[in-house]
Amino acid sequence: QVTLKESGPGMLQPSKTLSLTCSFSGFSLSTSGMVVSWIRQPSGKSLEWLAAIDWDGDKYYNPSLKSRLTVSKDTSNTQVFLKITSVDIADTATYYCARTVFNYGRGYFDYWGQGVMVTVSS
Amino acid sequence: DIQMTQSPASLSASLEEIVTITCQASQDIGNWLSWYQQKPGKSPQLLIYGATSLADGVPSRFSGSRSGTQYSLKISRLQVEDIGIYYCLQAYSAPWTFGGGTKLELK
């Protein structure tokens, strides 16, 4: 059974760095073809793909946010991390991680975490 | 970036009614189109991938189709549990982009 769960600070101040963790089970990120992505959703709005990391450690970023994003994974291949630097109010959103079916840069999200809400406020 | 124009933005339909939601891609994306259902307070769930393939466990009343760069999600007989917001996603070219969503309500 594939499960993913996000965790994060809940609230942080503008200009700080947001650190998120995605803990998953039911698959290993060391398996060829496995990818985990981060997606966010401001309240009442649509979804935005942020970043992804694959089994080989290759990383993919949304160009609109690339300068502020860092995606990484742990050595046990059961957790993926996302850091967003210099946050502001516009980064307030629910952040999801999702297992990604990935084929030469194309794919879809087949399993999603429950999401973690992050509020940026002074 | 590839733009996904989703319509309608909201839709009110009766039980057992046929419902169709469309996404228009701004350029060719082949069959790299997927559909997701999001119920209130929940995360999105995969319904359709590859434009027409039904995800595991999804009722057969859901179907996807493609005509050129226009993609459609059809619910053949609307049920109460189908209420929610539906999103399309193009994953042909980075950055992957979602449609604006369709809020489906019961009439």
Q: Is the pLDDT of residue A75 over 90?
A: no
Average pLDDT over chain A, rounded to whole? 95
The pair phi, psi for residue A20, each rounded to 5°, is: -120, 150
Give the number of C-alpha atoms closer than 13 A to the C-alpha of residue B66, restricted to the C-beta side. 19
- Contact criterion met (CB < 8 Å) for A107 and B91: yes
A50: closest chain B residue by CA: B95
Distance from CA of B86 to the nearest CA of A (A): 10
CA distance B43 to B10: 19
CA distance A55 to A57: 6
pLDDT level of residue A103 (50, 70, 90 thresholds): confident
Query: Tens of pLDDT along A5-59?
Result: 999 999 999 999 999 999 999 999 988 888 999 999 999 999 999 999 999 999 9
> At B80, is the secondary structure helix, strand, or coil?
helix
DSSP A16: S
**Which among B80, B87, B92, B99 is positioned nearest to B44, based on CA atoms?**
B87
Instruction: Tell me the chain A residues in contact with residue B50 when contact means C-beta distances shorter than 8 Å.
Output: 108
- Contact criterion met (CB < 8 Å) for B46 and A110: yes
**Best mutation target, B21, B86, B96, to test chain A (most A CBs within 10 A):** B96
